[in-house]
Structure 1
Amino acid sequence: MSVTDKRFEDERMVDGVLHSSLTSDELLKAVRKMEIRNDDIIVVTHTKAGTTWMQEIVSVLFYGCDFKKADSKSIIERFLFLDIHIPDCAVGPHEIADSLPSPRLIKTHFQQHQMPEQMLTNKAKVVYVGRNAKDNAVSLFHFCNIVSHLRTYEWDSFFHDFCNNKAHRGSWFDINLYWWSRRNDDNVLFIKYEDMQKDLSSVIVKVSEFFGWPIPDGKLDEIVNHCSFVSMKKNPKTNYSDSTTVGVNFKASTPFMRKGKVGDWKNYFTVAQSEEFDKIYEEKMKGTGLVFDYEL
């Protein structure tokens, strides 16, 4: 296993979750105790499950469907990312959060037992995006290979770690099952990535209704076009090309926004790997009612 940066050596397991050097023990403790306001707007996903896509949808609606206003700054700056302490920044995200006016836009990939405790009890609105595990694994595999503070994998090694909950950010199963269990809460909206691919306009309407943000007449088609994967991949405010704050080493062959397809896993999983994963999935997800599309 090769690496791109010696900082990966600071990766470690904390309560069963693999964290990078940018998520210190001190940050994990502080985030658990931070205040979550009832009017906070929070996007939660497992890493590389449609996070940026949903952030753009939420922020466009938040800014009254004013695209110029929404994209006046990078998506990274529009949302407070709870999970990492930006290098060379004097304060952590939990401290920045205290100074932000309400309502705050927040994103996180934290597992249930490491997210702010108040997210379990208050009425802040949460949009959770779940993506089928195989495509999520492939996208996370590529992400690990372009980020300087994460280890670089060969596919077979990554597949093993992903199946055994040892990949970056922890168990795909745990985070999806937790938010699926809360899908009927008034303050939680559970969205599937594949549904965003199949019918983006319907998802946008669901998000607008969830937050109570009406879409002006005639604007929906414009929002769909602006928030399409193709448009976002070209947009420097959403494709991370205008930011160096997260330690991402972009390569021409593997940009931050890569394919956004459903079914790309078939280009990586061998038949044996797919069958092995299907058995794990059946064991962990049996009886939950949570199913995903693996091809469209």
Structure 2
Amino acid sequence: MDDSCSKLTQDILRLMKDIGVAVQNESKLPYVMHREGWRLPVVFSLQCVDYAMNEWKIPENSVIIASFPKTGTMWCMEIVRQIMYGNDDELLNKSKSLPQIGHLIEMGQVYKFTDIYQELPIPRKFFFTHLPAELLNFEKIKQSNSKIISMCRNPKDQAVSWYYFLQKLKPSYTKEQTEQLLGEGWNDFIARYISGVHAMGLKEGQWYPDHLGEWIKRVREHDNTLLVEFESLKRDFKSETRRIAKFLDVELSEEDVTKVYERCTIDSMKTKTDQENDGSEFKFMQKNIRKGEVGGWKNYFTVAESELVDRLVEEKLSDIGVKFTYEL
């Protein structure tokens, strides 16, 4: 790694440490911050959200992965990384040596975010966001010739994955916050979750389908956006990889597609994080990769809970004709 890349890595590590301290001190702050009705976790920076909307100069030809938590964000990011850099070992290694900073569109100090991100030694940059579609500036994104990949996953499996992810975050929550988010076990959690008490870029009473519905509308309105279903990746990974590569204007040979497949299956990514868990990126990925399965929700939902979610999803998304895949 050259000196400039090494310095940037250290700068990013310091910034991530600052964010880590903020997360550890979360219990000293209100759990929810408000912006025009949106409820955001306190570790999000309202200043950064506003800056990204109004002032940020988006790097030309970037790729933005937009998702709700636990819908395949890290999986999609690794697929995009391999599609864009997989045939250039130097770029691939540089991208892996830099700690995961994609989330800084919402977190961190604005001036550090812009200074560092513009200087990354990678020609085509990519990052991710969990923000609702209404808080992104689609016109600016299009003007920068950038593209958006929006991830989608069935809400039952998403809920189970979200439940287990929150368990990992419990040490940073107060007792009151834990009760609000998780309750007493799965049945209490799912009742709270679908009632809209979680503040992940949502308004009062909203949960994942509300977030997804607005994103699907944007995908249908803008030709620089692509919807990718978690279940379709599981069903036919290679075909979906070709579709993503075509959208990103990257030519892949059949050998390239096979290479992406071998490097990006859920099992291979889990194995990699287990073997290389010293790096900050892999620790981040360790937290975010669990089973990555389709249909695991059946081991958790009661019949009544499943039917209730079906009714809620129908009420929220029937007008845009969304059909989820709940098992393969």
TM-score (norm. length: structure 2): 0.75
Structure 1 gaps, min length 5: none
Cα distance in structure 2, aligned partners of 1:212 and 1:204: 12
- Quickly say closer, same or farther: Cα 1:64–1:30, change in 2 above 3 A: same
Equivalent residues of 1:74, 1:237 under 8 A apart:
no
Equivalent residues of 2:273, 2:282 under 8 A apart:
no
Match of 2:197 in 1: 166
Deviation >6 Å, runs of 4+: 237-241
Match of 2:6 in 1: none
Match of 1:42 in 2: 64
Equivalent residues of 1:55, 1:75 under 8 A apart:
no
Larger radius of gyration: 2
Match of 1:105 in 2: 126
Q: Does 1:206 align with 2:243?
A: yes
- Quickly say closer, same or farther: Cα 1:145–1:161, change in 2 above 3 A: same
- Quickly say closer, same or farther: Cα 1:137–1:239, change in 2 above 3 A: farther
Match of 1:259 in 2: 291
Q: Does 1:178 align with 2:197?
A: no
Equivalent residues of 1:131, 1:192 under 8 A apart:
yes
Equivalent residues of 2:44, 2:107 under 8 A apart:
yes
Equivalent residues of 1:82, 1:94 under 8 A apart:
no
Match of 1:242 in 2: 279
Cα distance in structure 2, aligned partners of 1:174 and 1:65: 38
Q: Does 1:57 align with 2:79?
A: yes
SS of the aligned residue for 2:151 comes to strand
Shift of 1:292: 1.1
Equivalent residues of 1:63, 1:70 under 8 A apart:
yes
- Quickly say closer, same or farther: Cα 1:182–1:24, change in 2 above 3 A: closer
Query: Pairwise mapping of residues 39-188 of structure 1 onto structure 2 (< 5 A)?
Result: 39-66=61-88, 69-70=91-92, 73-74=95-96, 77=99, 80-85=102-107, 92-100=112-120, 102-116=123-137, 118=139, 122=143, 123-147=145-169, 148-149=171-172, 151-152=177-178, 153=182, 154-169=185-200, 170=202, 171-184=207-220, 185-188=222-225
Further displaced range: 127-136 or 106-115: 106-115
Match of 1:7 in 2: 26
Further displaced range: 123-132 or 59-68: 59-68
Q: How many residues align?
A: 286
SS of the aligned residue for 2:219 comes to coil
Equivalent residues of 2:81, 2:92 under 8 A apart:
yes
Which has the larger helix fraction? 2
Match of 1:275 in 2: 307
- The one-letter code sitting in structure 2 at the alignment partner of 1:183 is V
- Quickly say closer, same or farther: Cα 1:293–1:235, change in 2 above 3 A: same
- RMSD, matched Cα: 3.2
Query: Pairwise mapping of residues 20-39 of structure 1 onto structure 2 (< 5 A)?
Result: 20-33=41-54, 34-39=56-61
Cα distance in structure 2, aligned partners of 1:106 and 1:238: 24
More RCO (CA 8 Å, sep 6+) = 1
Shift of 1:5: 6.3
- Quickly say closer, same or farther: Cα 1:262–1:212, change in 2 above 3 A: same
Match of 2:226 in 1: 189
SS of the aligned residue for 2:128 comes to strand
TM-score (norm. length: structure 1): 0.82
Further displaced range: 15-24 or 34-43: 15-24
Shift of 1:242: 2.9
Match of 1:215 in 2: 252
SS of the aligned residue for 2:313 comes to helix
